Amino acid sequence: MEKQRVLWIDYAKGVAIFCVVLLHLGINDPYKAVIRVFLLPLFFFLSGIFSDPHRYSNFVDFLKQKALKIIIPYFVFNAFTFVFWLLIGRHYGIDNTISPDPVIPLKGILLGMYKYMHHYIPLWFLACLLTVEILHFVFFRHLKSAKNQLIVAFIFSIAGFLNYKFNPHSLIWGLDIAMVVMLFYVAGNTMKSLLLKSQENNFSLVFFSVISFILVYFMYTLNDEVKVFSNSYGNYLLFYIGAFSGILFSVTLFKLIENNLKPIRFLIFTGKNTLIILSLHLISISVLKGFMVFILRTDYTQYMNSNSFILLFAILSILTLVPVILIINNYLPCILGKNVTKQSNPRK
């Protein structure tokens, strides 16, 4: 029997990955800066909800499972995007002006550092997520109470702040970012029972959605633009306030949608396939741009100042990936860390 999915989480993941595509297409302010206030913290928060370090008997068993779920997809998608960049991508657009040297992306892949991953920067997220999960297993597995886990997470946050203030250099495999976002991951993990079982009424959901969005907007106006991928947060306290406000906004909004609307298939589909969309959407965007330039003979850049055009382009970018998503899920699930023999239940 197919495992029941949590729709509000699928909605949150679906909208979040759609926002990632919008950001990479260059959506204009204030939308860009507001989204960045909480987008990546939301991803780590949602990842924490599904974390259960106690199901692994030891670190070796844990690492084997993570090899399937994160390390294999990380290297497979890096290999594919690197080949695409090597043969095509680096000869066109902005990639042609950054660096055509193929050694630099290989360095980025091995070190898990975004600034060298010219072939496909978004894959830094998988490297950082692996670091977060390893640190969580090592330091939090034996902490029984949520209070103790949050205390240790705050210590990580302080370490992240000190690194942010005094170390100008990026750390390998996103360790610098992992210290900062650990608090979101632990918050999701410690609150998962409450989040998955509670049934809030519509009034409270609307109330908290409105209040939390107002807070997000104020943090956007008060703080510098947040760029988690480059370990840039502006005012550290305002960053956390804005991020947690955005997480609360997302949780309450999508619970409200789940409670009052029929299932939204597009969001469910994107929410289930965030890994593939994250790993291939820039190629999808490149293909669409190439189609406009070489087939339609249209200069797409003249439309890129229009948020409406960017919104449409983002939708088309994801729709273009649908055949690829279906092929990977049905015939190549191993590159996602899934067992082929379990595909009779696609929710696993």
DSSP assignment of 294-316, as one string?
A: IIS---GGGGTT-HHHHHHHHHH
The pLDDT of residue 343:
42
Q: Which residues contact 128 (CB under 8 A, 6 or more apart)?
A: 112, 173, 174, 177, 178, 181
Measure CA 21 to chain center. 11
DSSP assignment of 88-152, as one string?
A: TGGGSTTHHHH---THHHHHHHHHT-GGG-TT-GGGHHHHHHHHHHHHHHHHHTT--SHHHHHHH
Neighbours of 149 (CB within 10 A): 19
Cα–Cα distance between 221 and 53 in angstroms, integer? 38
Confidence label for 5 from pLDDT (cuts 50, 70 and 90): confident
CA angle 224, 226, 230 (to 5 degrees): 125
What is the phi/psi pair of residue 227, to 5°? -135, 85
From 81-85, 198-202, 206-210, the region with the lowest mean pLDDT: 198-202
The pLDDT of residue 125:
98
Confidence label for 347 from pLDDT (cuts 50, 70 and 90): very low
What is the largest distance, in Å, between two alpha-carbon atoms of the chain?
62
What is the phi/psi pair of residue 312, to 5°? -65, -40
Cα–Cα distance between 327 and 318 in angstroms, integer? 15
Segment 105-129 mean pLDDT: 95
Confidence label for 2 from pLDDT (cuts 50, 70 and 90): very low
Confidence label for 340 from pLDDT (cuts 50, 70 and 90): low
Confidence label for 342 from pLDDT (cuts 50, 70 and 90): very low
Structure tokens at 259: 């409670």
The pLDDT mean for the chain works out to 92
The string of pLDDT tens digits covering residues 29-49 is 899 999 999 999 999 999 999
Structure tokens at 23: 């950001």
Amino acid at 302: Q
Query: pLDDT: is 89 or 31 the higher one?
Result: 31
DSSP, collapsed to helix, strand or coil, labels residue 227 as: strand
Structure tokens at 154: 């705050």
The string of pLDDT tens digits covering residues 67-82 is 889 999 999 999 999 9
Rounded CA Rg of the chain: 20
Segment 266-275 mean pLDDT: 96
Written in H, E and C, the secondary structure of 95-108 is HHHHCCCCHHHHHH
From 18-27, 64-73, 77-86, the region with the lowest mean pLDDT: 64-73
Q: Which residues contact 122 (CB under 8 A, 6 or more apart)?
A: 20, 24, 278, 279, 281, 282
- What does each C-alpha distance from 159 to 92, 117, 225, 299 come to in angstroms? 40, 26, 22, 47
The tally of CA atoms less than 13 A away on the side-chain side of residue 267 is 19
Cα–Cα distance between 91 and 281 in angstroms, integer? 18
Say if residues 154 and 185 touch (Cβ distance below 8 Å).
no
Query: Whose CA is closest to 236, among 185, 188, 183, 191?
Result: 183
DSSP, collapsed to helix, strand or coil, labels residue 197 as: helix
Confidence label for 346 from pLDDT (cuts 50, 70 and 90): very low
Helix residue spans in 227-303 (DSSP H): 236-260, 265-272, 274-290
The string of pLDDT tens digits covering residues 92-101 is 766 655 667 8
